[in-house]
C-alpha cells in the first residue's frame, strides 16, 4: 500500500457536483493498493497514520498526532499512485491492484483508522472526484509498506 498524506487546514471531495466529504483540520490521505497488499499492511499503515506526530505543539514542534489535535481524515482511493512512467509518455497502471482487491482493502484501512479514534470520511471508489486540499505547512509525507 502507498499513501500520500497531507496535513490540511481543510479538505473536501466533490463528485458530480455533490460534496461527499468535508473536514477542517486533519489529514487528506491518497491511498493506493498494490496486488500484493493485505490486511496486515492496512493495519500497520492505519496505526502509523493515527499516531504520526506531524502537528505542531505549543512550541511549534511536530509532536502531536491527528488524534491529539482532534482532527479528522479524508481517505481517497488513488490507483494512480502505482503509475509506471518508465516507458513512453502514457503512464501504465499494471502495478495497481484490481478493484476487487483494492476496494475491500481501502475499506479495511478506513475501519482500522476509525478504530484508532480518527473520524474518517471517504471519497467515492472509482468515481471521478474533485479533491480540494488546503495543505498546511505544507506537510506532505509518503508512506509505503
Q: 98, exposed or middle or buried, with CB in 10 Å at 0-12, 13-18, 19+?
A: exposed
Q: How many helices (H) and strands (E) does the chain have?
A: 2, 8
Among this protein's residues, is 140 annotated catalytic? no
Q: Rounded to an integer, what distance in angstroms lies between the CA atom of residue 54 and that of residue 27?
A: 10
Angle at which helices 39-51 and 99-115 cross, to 10°: 40
**Residue 14 is among the residues annotated as catalytic for this protein:** no
Catalytic residue, candidates 6, 14, 25, 78: 78
Distance (Å, whole) CA 137 – CA 28 = 14
122 an active-site residue? no
Q: One of 6, 10, 25, 79 is an active-site residue; which one?
A: 79
Which of 6, 10, 55, 80 is labelled catalytic? 80
- Active-site residue set: 78-80
Amino acid at each position: 500500500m502507498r499513501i500520500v498524506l497531507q496535513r490540511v487546514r481543510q479538505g473536501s471531495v466533490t463528485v458530480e457536483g455533490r460534496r461527499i466529504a468535508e473536514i477542517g483540520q486533519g489529514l487528506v490521505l491518497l491511498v493506493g493498493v498494490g496486488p500484493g497488499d493485505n490486511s496486515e499492511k492496512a493495519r500497520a499503515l492505519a496505526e502509523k497514520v493515527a499516531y504520526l506526530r506531524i502537528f505542531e505543539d505549543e512550541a511549534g514542534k511536530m509532536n502531536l498526532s491527528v488524534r491529539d489535535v482532534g482532527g479528522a481524515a479524508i481517505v481517497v482511493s488513488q490507483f494512480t499512485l502505482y503509475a509506471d512512467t518508465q516507458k513512453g509518455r502514457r503512464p501504465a497502471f499494471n502495478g495497481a491492484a484490481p478493484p476487487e482487491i483494492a476496494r475491500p482493502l481501502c475499506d479495511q484501512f478506513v475501519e482500522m483508522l476509525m478504530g484508532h479514534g480518527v473520524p474518517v470520511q471517504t471519497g467515492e471508489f472509482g468515481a471521478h472526484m474533485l479533491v480540494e486540499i488546503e495543505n498546511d505547512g505544507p506537510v506532505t509525507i509518503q508512506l509505503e509498506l
